[in-house]
Amino acid sequence: MTDTHRLIEDRPPSLATLFLERAEATPHAEAYRYPVPAQGPAPDQWTSLTWGEAAARVFSIAAGLMSLGVRPEERVAIASATRVEWILADLGVLCAGAATTTVYPGTNAEETAFILADSGSRVLIAEDVKQLAKARDRRSELPELRQVVVIDAKGLGAEGLGAEGPGASGLDAGDDDGWVISLEELERRGAAYLEKHPQAVKEAVGALTREQLATLIYTSGTTGRPKGVELSQDCWSYMAKAIRAIGLLGEDDVQYLWLPLAHVFGKVLIAGHITVGHVTAVDGRVDKIVENLPVVRPTYMAAVPRVFEKVYNGIAGRARAGGAAKYQIFTWAAEVARDYAKASQDNRRRTGSPAVAFGLAAKHALADRLVYARIREAFGGRLRACISGSASLAPEIGYFFAGAGVHILEGYGLTESSAASFLNPGDAYRTGTVGRPFPGTEVRIAEDGEVLLRGPGIMRGYHGLPEKTAEVLEPDGWFRTGDIGELSADGYLRITDRKKDLIKTSGGKYVAPAELEGKCKALCPFISNVLVIGADRNFCSALVALDEPTILGWAGENGLGGKSYAEVVAHPAARELIDGYVRRVNADAQRWQQIKSFRLLPRDLDVEHGDLTPSLKLKRPVVEREFKGLIEEMYAGTRET
């Protein structure tokens, strides 16, 4: 047995066990950094928790939950943005032997109530009065919810009342019968409980088994009600050990964690952090990313493709605003970056060396001084790698950043596989693929091209939905991902599309819309989101949403300054601009893949309107319904064959 497989096979039964081991091994080492927001224009101040200090708070939270009567495998929901208290609360739930139900803070009251009721959650840990209100307003529908714990208790009275009234907090000032307490109060109760039962938490952790429920994550879903994915204690223990076994991260690394922890992608980063023992800087405020990067100076961070697309669009937009000469330098440097990255990766694959031809290397060195160095500095100047997941990254975007020295390692996984099943290896990464399987995870490609997975990270099933579970989980443990992919001879996986998203034209030709959409976003820095349509139609069309800051910047340079986004996209000049990029996409596509018609949307697609999931995946049916008129307009007068 190799050292890697021994590390995987000898894993403990739970992540809670690993957390206790980490706290005991390095109690004085820094574990977490988090911001303390400053008053006024002053910058935030960052503070730290050591592993020992974090463990003390986790123990108090775990014991506090026990004092509330929470029992093994009972659910405790967390509805909060990403912050250090989210992590401490989650670990407290696990150390109490219970299971965490995750709720996106942006989830509306109706769906929040559904998740709390369907999961049977006994306690809700809410970030603030806004999250509390979602449960309090529907308390009658949640008979199993015994307690609400509020992290940020501003706006609550000492007794857990809405002391400021409905004008400030949206809460009435009625008696809650002790139903609402603060996180601080929960920790005080936990400390008192530990005085009477000092071994309670360690005993609870010691009693955990691999099969016990650890996390219930409701898939945001692109259609219908979300399904609760049951992930066992062993799922996270396996993920933690597999991340350690890969060897990509070390104890000296600094992670910048801003992803939503209600999503499985964020959750798996917590597991890896515990087993490796590096520092994690936690701040979920998306509007603070640009400000935080030079302060945190991370060595690695994870993000979804949309973030890298927006960064690329922003760089291109600023170059364009700098005048024709500056933009020409940028476009030249972008092309050099892509050529350099492709040549370097191809050479490494063929010969084992990433060295490129002298002429290309010289151009790359010049472009580095002019453009790339500033891009790396914007990321903090120490970034070794970014991990991209949740959706596919357009290869041309990936090659650009690779050539600029911002190495994006694409990975692949689903909520049902605990997020991480594949990851590109460090130096040997291949843009356009999702890398190789994690040690201990098996993969095979079905006859129809569907990717099948088997391993310790696969879910127990969908909560309360045995029929849905049977549709995707075979009796022998193979999980049907619903994704279409190709596996290279040396084990690199390339995802081509979602099985259900493949469209078949009326001419009988299959089209992978995600591939076309990725090419559009890579070629056109103005595009924010794009939806390719063509199922049962005689040609492909597209709904195109533009990136507001970028297109408004262009508008100001082209005589359309002062106009709103909707006015700009309705202008013939904007359509002509995007038409040029669509023609470039079509030039490299098969005839049946070409986008013959498109419409610019009057607004960008977003989570608030329900167009995107919280992890920024496109909800195709929702967008098609909302903009049905534009779709019909594109096909009006055509003859379906």
Per-residue model confidence as pLDDT tens digits over 45-64 = 999 999 999 999 999 999 99
Query: Does 219 share its domain with 129?
Result: yes
Query: Does 93 share its domain with 131?
Result: yes
Q: pLDDT band for position 335 (50/70/90)?
A: very high
- Reply yes or no on whether the pLDDT at 626 is more than 50: yes
Q: What is the pLDDT of residue 591?
A: 84
R_g (Cα) of the chain, nearest Å? 25
- Reply yes or no on whether the pLDDT at 220 is more than 70: no
- Reply yes or no on whether the pLDDT at 85 is more than 60: yes
Integer CA distances (angstroms), 341 to 63, 403, 588, 627, in order:
52, 5, 20, 39
Average pLDDT in the chain: 89
| DSSP assigned state of 41 | T
Query: Does 190 share its domain with 79?
Result: yes
The answer to the question of residue 457 being in a domain is no
Of 313-322, 478-487, 524-533, the poorest mean pLDDT is in 313-322
Query: Does 128 share its domain with 231?
Result: yes
Query: Does 318 share its domain with 371?
Result: yes
**String of DSSP letters for 468-506:** HHHHHB-TTS-EEEEEEEEE-TTS-EEEEEEGGG-EE-T
Range among 107-111, 164-168, 217-221, 257-261 with highest mean pLDDT value: 257-261
Query: Does 205 share its domain with 261?
Result: yes
Q: Please identify, among 235, 254, 287, the residue that sits at the C-terminal boundary of a domain.
A: 287
- Tell me the per-residue pLDDT of 351-398, one tens digit each, with 9 for 90 and over: 988 899 999 999 999 999 999 999 999 999 999 999 998 878 888 899
Q: Please identify, among 406, 430, 452, the residue that sits at the C-terminal boundary of a domain.
A: 406
Q: What is the pLDDT of residue 57?
A: 98
3-state helix, strand, coil in the chain (%, to 5): 45, 20, 40
Q: pLDDT band for position 87 (50/70/90)?
A: very high
CATH number at residue 245: 3.40.50.980
- Rounded to a whole number, what is the largest CA-CA distance in the chain? 79
Q: What is the pLDDT of residue 173?
A: 37
Q: Please identify, among 353, 380, 406, the residue that sits at the C-terminal boundary of a domain.
A: 406
Q: Which helix (H) or strand (E) holds 5?
A: helix 3-9
The answer to the question of residue 417 being in a domain is no
- Tell me the per-residue pLDDT of 554-573, one tens digit each, with 9 for 90 and over: 998 889 988 999 999 999 99
CA angle 584, 586, 592 (to 5 degrees): 180
- Tell me the per-residue pLDDT of 225-272, one tens digit each, with 9 for 90 and over: 789 999 999 999 999 999 999 988 999 999 999 999 999 999 999 999
The answer to the question of residue 540 being in a domain is yes
Residues in the chain: 641
Averaged pLDDT for residues 533-548: 89
Query: Does 511 share its domain with 387?
Result: no
Averaged pLDDT for residues 159-186: 59
Q: Which helix (H) or strand (E) holds 453?
A: strand 450-454
Q: pLDDT band for position 188 (50/70/90)?
A: very high
The four Cα atoms 392, 397, 403, 405 give a dihedral, to 10 degrees, of -70
Query: Does 323 share its domain with 262?
Result: no
pTM for this model (two decimals):
0.84
The answer to the question of residue 428 being in a domain is no
Q: Which helix (H) or strand (E) holds 30?
A: strand 30-36
Of 74-88, 112-126, 611-625, the poorest mean pLDDT is in 611-625
Q: How many domains does the structure of the chain reveal?
A: 3
The answer to whether residues 194 and 78 touch, using CB atoms and an 8 Å cutoff, is: no
The answer to the question of residue 356 being in a domain is yes
- Reply yes or no on whether the pLDDT at 549 is more than 50: yes
**String of DSSP letters for 601-614:** -SS---TTTTSB-T
Query: Does 565 share its domain with 599?
Result: yes
Range of 607's domain? 503-635
Range among 119-123, 158-162, 317-321, 588-592 with highest mean pLDDT value: 119-123
The answer to the question of residue 14 being in a domain is yes
- Sheet-wide strand order for 493-498: 442-445, 450-454, 479-487, 493-498
Query: Does 558 share its domain with 588?
Result: yes
The answer to the question of residue 252 being in a domain is yes
The answer to whether residues 61 and 19 touch, using CB atoms and an 8 Å cutoff, is: no
Calculate what percentage of the chain has a pLDDT beyond 70: 94
The answer to the question of residue 531 being in a domain is yes
CATH number at residue 578: 3.30.300.30
Calpha distance 133→146 (Å, rounded): 15
Q: pLDDT band for position 89 (50/70/90)?
A: very high
Query: Does 249 share its domain with 340?
Result: no
Query: Does 274 share its domain with 343?
Result: no
- Reply yes or no on whether the pLDDT at 1 is more than 70: no
Q: pLDDT band for position 2 (50/70/90)?
A: low
Calculate what percentage of the chain has a pLDDT beyond 90: 67
Judge residue 490's burial from the number of C-beta atoms within 10 Å of its C-beta, 0-12 exposed, 13-18 middle, 19 or more buried: exposed
